[in-house]
Amino acid sequence: MVAFISGLDARGQADVTPSPDALYAHRDEPGQAAKAAELWSKRLTASASDFEAAWKLSRARYWLGTNGPAADRRAALEAGMDAANKAIAQQPKRPEGHFWLAANMGALAESFGMSQGLKYRKPIRASLEEVLRLDPGFADGSADRALGRWFYKVPGLFGGSNARSEEHLRKSLTYDPQSTASWFFLGETLEDMGRKADARAAYQHVLDAPFNPTWTPEDKIWKAKAKTALAGLK
């Protein structure tokens, strides 16, 4: 006789271990992203070839590195890079590892000073261009969105360009016309170019956009930022 029924533990009770995907869906609630990361980390430790666990761990580490406790952010981003590299090692022709490697590097470059920015600027761009080569529409045009940010943030002396930033951001909007992140980044680029009316319209798009079920926690952040940007735009 079969000793156990799938989904039940040794005492006949239902297994209530949460899915890391379900936990990550509520990543803006305290502790949920960290719990998801822990489960994906355990999966990856158990099987170094678990591609899905590797890139999802990198994604969760990115969230923790940009929204978690300030003292833990750098370590989270560095761990996110490590997980992304493991994903790339397993599936180099899939975009996920390349994208989340770029995302974690980008957050380090943006948050931890000029030396980090200079260190990672070329690898970030190379990783995002690899995503575009593999799958231009990956994650609703996220590679074009991130490249738009790259060209906005990097000084012109090192390859930055507001015109290129606008080009990539508008391209990203062809995949998701309601992307709050793309519209917010476009607003910042346009404002920096002195196009205040266009920037105001971009920020308003952020506020008017419906919440995307996949990106709702991020949408909340960009809507709050757009409200602040609009109030400060003279």
Question: What percent of the chain shows pLDDT beyond 90?
Answer: 86
Give the pLDDT band of residue 10 (cuts 50, 70, 90): very low
The Cα-based distances of 178 to 46, 138, 147, 182, 223 in angstroms read 39, 16, 18, 8, 12
Residue 64 phi, psi dihedral angles, 5° rounding: -65, -35
Q: What angle do CA 156, 159, 162 make, to 5 degrees?
A: 60
- Which DSSP state fits 49? T
pLDDT in tens, 149-163: 999 999 998 999 999
Assess whether pLDDT exceeds 70 at residue 13: no
R_g over Cα of the chain: 19
- Is the domain covering 20-135 a CATH 1.10.357.10 domain? no
10 Å Cβ neighbour count for 135? 16
Q: Where are the domains of the chain?
A: 20-135
Name the strand (E) or helix (H) holding 73. helix 73-90
Residue 32 has pLDDT above 80, yes or no: yes
Stretch 47-64: mean pLDDT = 98
